[in-house]
Structure 1
Amino acid sequence: INFNLILLILLEIFMATTVIISARSTEDCCTRKKNTAYDSTIFLSNVSFPARILKSYSVIEVIIGISSVFGGIIALNMDVLVSGPYLSVTFFWILVACFPSAIASHVAAEYPSKCLVEVLMAISSVTSPLSFTASAYLSFSIMQVVDIFKNYPPAVKQSYDVLLLLLMLMLLIQACLTIGTVIQCVNYKTKMKLHDSSWTASQVKKQEYRTTEVSNNTLKDFDKDKAWKA
C-alpha cells in the first residue's frame, strides 16, 4: 500500500502541475471577443465567472482533503489494533476525490475559460460520486458511535469508530462542494449561451437594419438620377 500511495501522490502532483502550467502558458483556447458596441434598444451585461465562490470551495476542499488524508493514515494504522474492515480502498478514494477538483476549481477561478470550465465540470462530476461512495462506505460507523453512549468508558474500538465518523462527514462535505461546483459551472454556461444568443440576435437585427437602410438609399439615388436624366 505504501508503494501504491506514493504512485498516487505523484500522479496527483503531476496532474496539478500539468493543469497549472497549461493554464499559465497557453492562451485561452476559447476566447470570447469583448464587444464594445451595443444595440441602442438592447443592453447586454457581461457574464461574470463565479471566481470568488469557486476559490472558497477550493480552499475548503483542500483543507478537507488534507484532514481526510491524515485521518485515513490514522485509521489505517488503527486497523492493526482493532478488528474491522480494511480502509485502503476508502483511503484511495479520499485522495482521488479531494485534490483534483480543488486544483481544477482554483485554476479555473484564476484563468476562467470555456475549456477549463468543461474540465472542471468533468472532474467534479467524477469526484462527487466517489466522495459519496466513500462516505456511504463509512456510514456503518454511525450506529457504532451511538453505541458509545451505551458503553462507558470508551475503548480503542470506539475511538476508531469516532474517527471513521469524522472521515465520513468530511467526505460528505467534499461531495456537496463538488456538486455545488458543478451547479455553478452549469449556471455560468447557461448564462453564457443566453448572452451569446442575445448578442447574435441583436447583431442580426442591426445588420438587417443596415441592409434595409442601404437599399433605401440606393433607391433614392436611383430615383434622383432618373429624374435628372428626364
Structure 2
Amino acid sequence: MVDFVLVAGAWLGSWAWEEVVPELRAAGHGAHPLTLTGLAEKRGMPARQRTHVQDIVGEVDRLGLRDPVLVGHSYAAGPVAQAAARTGERPARAVFIDGPVPADGASCLAAWPDEGRAVAAAIAENGGFWPPPGRAGYDGQGLTEAQIARIMRDSTPHPGASLTDPAVLTRPLAEIPATYVLCLLNRAEPSAAVAELVAGGHWRQVAMESGHWPMFSRPRELARILLDAVR
C-alpha cells in the first residue's frame, strides 16, 4: 500500500480531489487530500510559503506516513518539492501536476515572467490575497460548464505572501524521485528546469490531453498516472 498526500494549487482545497480519492482507495492505497492554510475551510488565514511547506510536513507527521507520495498541483508543486526535500529518513516520491518547480531562493512568481507583475498587482489590490480568475480563465482547458461552475463556486482567494516568498530547498530537485505531469491543453512543452531534469534521467514526464485542472476534467486518468508513478 502507498499513501498519497494530495495538495491542490492556488484557490483550491482538499475538495478538489473528490473524484480522484475514490480511485486511489479502490486500488488499495491511502489517499489524503490536504487543504493548505488560508484556503477553502481555512480561508482568510494569512500564510507564507513556509506555512504551506509545514502544512505538508505536518500532515505527513500527523498521519505517521512512511515513504509517502507527495502530489502537488500547480502552485503546490513548490511547497511539495520543499516538503519532499525535508522528509529526512522517509524519502518521499513526488508527483508534480502542471506546476512551476521551485528554484532555491526564487519566488513562485519568478517562474511566471509574463504574469508575475500582474499577479503581484492583484495581490496588492486585494488585501494581500490573489483572487480567483473569472470565467474566461478556464476557457480551452477541457472543462465542462458544470465543472467550471463548481471550481468558481468553491475557489477562495489565495494568500499572496506564499507566492512572493522565496523557496528554500534543502537538497537539489534532482535528488527527489519525481514524475512530472504535463497538461497539453495548457502548455505544449515543460519549463526549461523540468526539461533538464527529465533529459538528465532524474525525473519521468507523462503528458495528458488535459487542461490545467485534470482532477476535474480527467480524474480517472489522473488517478491511473498517480498509480503508475509508484510502480
Q: TM-score, normalised by structure 1?
A: 0.26
Q: TM-score, normalised by structure 2?
A: 0.26
- Greater fraction helix: 1
